[in-house]
Amino acid sequence: GAVVSQHPSWVICKSGTSVKIECRSLDFQATTMFWYRQFPKQSLMLMATSNEGSKATYEQGVEKDKFLINHASLTLSTLTVTSAHPEDSSFYICSATGEAPYEQYFGPGTRLTVT
């Protein structure tokens, strides 16, 4: 139980284009979803927190207009990287919590490369 999926697992896009990453909770309803960014050999950096039906709460320094987060249902959250640039290349990981707010279940991550 408590499986979180992400799609795509990797994506390559050209500079200036937008990319959407999906995060789904497969066997539970996710009251809250988190989006993290991980640079090579570094820890996870929380980008934003989203609750179903509400606007996402972004961490300081994260551009809201560049990283659009939509939490349309209790099983789906999307992260759209708009007008992507090479510096946006990174590993993006989502997580979700269900009935137990203390326990985050992580997706497998999405590798984004912007050329």
Partner 1 sequence: AQSVTQPDIHITVSEGASLELRCNYSYGATPYLFWYVQSPGQGLQLLLKYFSGDTLVQGIKGFEAEFKRSQSSFNLRKPSVHWSDAAEYFCAVGPHYYSGAGSYQLTFGKGTKLSVIP
Binding site for partner 1 (CB under 8 A): 4, 6, 32, 34, 41-44, 46, 49, 51, 54, 57, 91, 93, 95, 97, 101-109, 111
Instruction: Compute the least distance from the CB of residue 81 to partner 1, in Å.
Output: 18
CB nearer to partner 1: pick between 86 and 102: 102
Cα separation, 86 vs 39, in Å, equals: 13
Q: How far is the CB of 83 from partner 1 (least distance, A)?
A: 26
What is the residue-wise DSSP string for 28-76? S--SEEEEEEE-TTS-EEEEEEEETTSPPEEPTT--TTTEEEEEEETTE
